[in-house]
Amino acid sequence: MKKIILEDKKILVTGAAGFIGSNLCKRLLNDYQNTYIIGLDNMNDYYDVSLKEYRLDSLNKYNNFKFIKGNLADKKLINEIFDEYKFDIVVNLAAQAGVRYSITNPDAYIESNLIGFYNILEACRNYPVEHLVYASSSSVYGGNKKVPFSTDDKVDNPVSLYAATKKSNELLAHSYSKLYDIPSTGLRFFTVYGPAGRPDMAYFGFTNKLINGETIKIFNYGNCKRDFTYIDDIVEGIIRVMQGAPEKKIGEDKLPIAPYAVYNIGNSNPENLLDFVSILQEELVRAKVLPSDYDFESHKELVPMQPGDVPVTYADTTPLERDYGFKPNTSLREGLRKFATWYNEYYK
């Protein structure tokens, strides 16, 4: 593995106003003084744009951060940005997210996750970088029965278009790594949560509904397990991976061996949805988001599985521990406590 120093580097972070992207930028700006970060985001309205603006506001305070509003699918713009800044490292976190939305709005996924990612790969080919790190997803495992999910498992049976686009990203990255010797690392994230997260995620959506006195739907009658991973653990994992690129090597055929890797970043501790809802309720009461006498039982509905969903996600993170000495370890209660506290402050 090739060691990369993050000081004095030009780094592109796409999806910089997103949940993971904004947290990554903030951490890089705080920890690496002479690092210059360009953040790209199209600020789309898939969820409340004011939340994206709130995240961006905290980044715009830094002198070594520059924000560009633009679309990954705009090839001319992407090439211009690469030509101007000559990036050392690219972290591609921009994507149309969400499994359920991909069923009703497939176009957004093809544009952002396929065409957009292709444009990034082309730019990395024409303006070589030390390391391309990109977001994949635990959804690539589909309905795999074998748990925990290992990056050695076959992932040829996606159950949603979102999952199919993420698997496609890994295939495209591999071919570009092989053809053009681009060091690339894909990260399969498992159910990321935390303060200022995505409102379309269960913990956030449930909170909004409970406050409005609406009923929350618990899918598969509560028999789902999710490997919830706290945002700070995800960011720590990304930063560790950024600093170690797959080694460039020449094979027996005198051609490059693809400098390509994929890792899981998950908590390796799947939580039952009903237990998750109980902890969330307790922490919302504790943070005074909801009154202590709130009648939770009357606001819960157990419903069947949804199309595109899977019963369990569970990360095997052994390779991440082996290669980067890191394992996510924030407990669900600790993470949800931080979310509930933030929620109370943000929405007053």
Taking a C-beta distance cutoff of 8 angstroms, is the pair 197, 281 a contact? Answer: no
* E strands present in 162-305: 184-189, 192-193, 216-218, 225-226, 229-230, 244-245, 249-250, 256-257, 260-265, 271-272, 300-302
In angstroms, rounded to a whole number, what is the distance separating the alpha carbons of residues 198 and 201?
A: 6
Taking a C-beta distance cutoff of 8 angstroms, is the pair 51, 90 a contact? Answer: no
List Cα–Cα distances, 322 to 8, 126, 249, in angstroms.
Answer: 27, 33, 21
Catalytic-role residue among 36, 134, 162, 203: 162
What is the distance of C-alpha 76 from the center of its chain?
A: 26
Place of tokens 């509904």: 209
Residue 254 backbone zone (phi > 0: left; psi -120 to 50: alpha; other: beta): left
User: At residue 57, what are phi and psi to the nearest 5 degrees?
Assistant: -55, -40
Partners of 131 in the β-ladder: 89
162 as an active site residue: the answer is yes
User: At residue 227, what are phi and psi to the nearest 5 degrees?
Assistant: -90, 85
List Cα–Cα distances, 298 to 275, 280, 290, 291, in angstroms.
Answer: 17, 16, 14, 15
Cite the active site residues. Answer: 162
